[in-house]
Amino acid sequence: MERLSELTDSIMDSVIDLEGALAEFKTLEDVFRSSEFVRDEMLPKMDVLRKYVDEAEMLTSQRDWPFPSYGQLLFSVN
């Protein structure tokens, strides 16, 4: 449970960091600079967030996880 609490804090910090990057991205007017910003700034932040969320998902009961799992997304398509 302690690790899950740590992950929750890390997820929140990562979301705040990503929101800051998104706000900066919205100020960019040059398409080339915007694409570089996404590649260099936003994608690495998204990777960090994804790492924390993936670990939190593994520690959380499927019953308590509020989002569909990858398996549910992949195999429940009609």
Q: What is the CATH number for 11?
A: 1.20.120.1560
The CA distance from 22 to 15, in Å, is 10
Structural domain including 43 reads 2-75
pLDDT reading at 77 higher than 80: no
pLDDT of residue 26: 97
Q: How far apart are the first and last CA of the chain?
A: 36
Q: Give the pair of three-digit tokens for residue 8.
A: 């929750």
Higher pLDDT, 44 or 72: 44
Domain count for the chain, please give it: 1
pLDDT reading at 73 higher than 70: yes
Q: Give the pLDDT band of residue 76 (cuts 50, 70, 90).
A: confident
Entry pTM: 0.82
Q: Give the pLDDT band of residue 78 (cuts 50, 70, 90).
A: low
The CA distance from 14 to 43, in Å, is 12
What phi-psi label fits residue 12: left (phi over 0), alpha (psi between -120 and 50 degrees) or beta?
A: alpha
